[in-house]
Amino acid sequence: QAQLVESGGGLVPPGGSLRLSCAASGFPFDNYAIAWFRQAPGKEREFVAGISQSGGGSDYADSVKGRFTISRDNSKNTVYLQMNSLKPEDTAVYYCAARFAYSRITSRNGIDYWGKGTLVTVSS
């Protein structure tokens, strides 16, 4: 059925860049808002960035504004998270999430589908 599969995580030095991908299948991708969340060791899962079903609007956590960019390619059923100027505090497992769209995702409320996550480690 519905699946979200993240990829692109890995080890990157501080100041480096990484692009995460989230490939969706099994549901009408174009009708869903998509978001990225992350969970650091010992912490709760937190919102990172969200994008509207059409890609026309986006939201970012204050901690990543100006550094991260969310985008989507509906022809490929894929969402991306471009992460620049990475900091050690960005280290976390990153998850993508989907919710049938009447508005953009800004919290964990009402999420329909979750991916399994991809690990990003920012370290020298």
User: pLDDT by residue (tens digit) across 8-31?
Assistant: 999 999 999 999 999 999 999 999
Rounded to whole angstroms, the Cα distance separating 78 from 70 reads 11
Which residues sit opposite 5 in a β-bridge? 23
Distance of alpha carbon 118 from the chain centroid: 10
The pLDDT mean for the chain works out to 96
Q: Specify the higher pLDDT residue, 55 or 49.
A: 49
pLDDT at 103 over 90: no
pLDDT at 61 over 90: yes
